[in-house]
Amino acid sequence: MENLYDLIIIGSGPAGLSSGLYGARAKLKTLIIEKSKTGGQIVTTHDVANYPGSIEDASGPKLIARMVEQCKSFGAEMVKDNIVDADIDGEIKVVKGEKGEYKGKALIIATGATPKKLGAPGEKELTGKGVSYCATCDGDFFTDLEVFAVGGGNSAVEEGMFLTKFARKVTIVHRRDELSCAKSIEEKAKDNPNIEFMFNTSIKELHGDGILEKVVFENTVTGETMEYEADEEDGTMGVFVFVGLNPQTDLFKDKINMDKRGYIITDEDMRTNIDGVFAAGDCRVKTLRQVVTATSDGAIATINAEKYIENKEWNLEEFMM
């Protein structure tokens, strides 16, 4: 049985690490698989002040480092591999990666979500050359420059405020006539003298010769356009995009129930429509995508996966052959 895990978790964000912690502490043979960077989106977040008890050193990377240490201290295994296919209908769940094949009695999908793109001409070519999706990663590059933060939700406004630590001016660009973030966040942003707002505005085009030099804005009400060029002395500016997320669930398309946007449908116990398969965190249908709800999802998913494993009569003869 050496190659059979009790619990396989795909993804190592807060949901996956919470799942791994609960699994390992319950003495389940637990494997966490991550294709790239441990921690998911939270490692790009500078401040996690809304996570209960996270007062000092409340940065995303530090919080994730502590979660990883906890998982490993209880015996959870972690591997780096890009999962390319999964057989989830059988009694034993088979997960196939570029580096190997993994088998488990239960599977938790915690693959998270990634930032949406604007879809504007020039965005792809200028990504990393003025266009960014991570204020924590790239804010320092725009010290004393002008920056535009696109979006009106909590993330856009919070990251816009963070960017004022570096940029001399931050303009929050929102396609509607009012912000959709929490009122407390909105009030804080409007009190910040280095933040301005452009409402009923979207970005139509991005231009530059190897670096972002010009942005074409469009009024979403009138259709009028306006070109904005970087200050001649600066030579460039920044556009940070925070317009929502895409669930990372393509691997399970047509294999599991999802909504029209691609989020996995679960019940309140994180169960999917497939026995022994659970989903947790940003990849599932939910009303709030925050660290606190992701870790809660992970704990709930593992507790119910443990019950599933304990209550099922296993026929492992085929696996042992």
| Residues in the chain, overall count | 321
**Same domain as 254, residue 110:** yes
**Same domain as 165, residue 230:** yes
Total domain count, the chain: 2
Catalytic residue, chosen from 81, 134, 234, 275, is 134
Catalytic residue, chosen from 138, 181, 282, 297, is 138
**Same domain as 222, residue 259:** no
Torsion angle of C-alpha atoms 286, 277, 9, 256, degrees rounded to 10: -60
**104 vs 276: CA distance, rounded Å:** 10
What residues are paired with 174 via a beta bridge? none
Q: Which residues in 88-157 belong to E strands, given as ranges?
A: 93-97, 101-109, 113-115, 131-132, 146-150
Percent with pLDDT over 70 in the chain = 94
Confidence check: pLDDT of 195 > 80: yes
**Same domain as 148, residue 87:** no
Q: What is the pLDDT of residues 212-232, one digit of tens each?
A: 999 999 999 999 999 999 999
Confidence check: pLDDT of 25 > 80: yes
Confidence check: pLDDT of 58 > 80: no
Q: What pLDDT is recorded for position 155? A: 85
Q: Which of 212, 241, 270 is where one domain is finished?
A: 241
Which domain, by its residues, includes 164? 123-241
**Same domain as 65, residue 21:** yes
Q: In this predicted structure, which of 59-63, 89-93, 149-153 has the lowest mean pLDDT?
A: 59-63
Could you count the other beta carbons within 10 Å of the beta carbon of residue 49?
9
Average pLDDT over residues 296-305: 98
Residue 166's pLDDT band, with cuts at 50, 70 and 90, is: very high
Q: Which of 221, 241, 261 is where one domain is finished?
A: 241
Confidence check: pLDDT of 35 > 70: yes
Q: Which CATH number do you get for residue 309?
A: 3.50.50.60
Q: Which residues in the chain belong to E strands, given as ranges?
A: 4-10, 30-34, 77-80, 83-87, 93-97, 101-109, 113-115, 131-132, 146-150, 169-173, 195-198, 201-207, 214-219, 225-229, 238-241, 245-247, 277-279
Confidence check: pLDDT of 45 > 70: no
Q: What pLDDT is recorded for position 2? A: 58
Has 138 been annotated as catalytic? Answer: yes
**Same domain as 280, residue 314:** yes
Q: What pLDDT is recorded for position 198? A: 97
Please state, rounded to an integer, the average pLDDT across all residues of the chain.
92
Catalytic residue, chosen from 87, 89, 137, 269, is 137
Q: What pLDDT is recorded for position 174? A: 97
Torsion sign (Cα): 229, 232, 235, 241: negative
**134 vs 97: CA distance, rounded Å:** 28
Tell how strand 245-247 and strand 169-173 pair up.
Answer: unpaired
Q: What pLDDT is recorded for position 47? A: 64
Residue 150: name the closest of 118, 125, 119 by CA: 118
Q: In this predicted structure, which of 133-147, 155-169, 204-218 has the lowest mean pLDDT?
A: 133-147
Main-chain dihedrals φ then ψ at residue 226, nearest 5 degrees: -145, 130
Average pLDDT over residues 113-123: 93
What residues are paired with 15 via a beta bridge? none
Tokens of 258: 């999802």
**Same domain as 94, residue 58:** yes
Main-chain dihedrals φ then ψ at residue 121, nearest 5 degrees: -55, 135
**282 vs 42: CA distance, rounded Å:** 11
What single DSSP character describes residue 265?
P
Residue 46's pLDDT band, with cuts at 50, 70 and 90, is: low
Confidence check: pLDDT of 48 > 90: no
**Same domain as 252, residue 224:** no
For residues 2 and 108, which has the higher predicted lDDT (pLDDT)?
Answer: 108
Q: What pLDDT is recorded for position 260? A: 94
**Same domain as 84, residue 229:** no
Give the rounded distance of the alpha carbon of 43 from its chain centre: 9
**Same domain as 303, residue 208:** no
For residues 314 and 18, which has the higher predicted lDDT (pLDDT)?
Answer: 18
**Same domain as 290, residue 226:** no
Number of separate helices (H) and strands (E) present in the chain: 8, 17
Q: Which of 187, 219, 241 is where one domain is finished?
A: 241
Residue 44's pLDDT band, with cuts at 50, 70 and 90, is: low
**Same domain as 201, residue 145:** yes
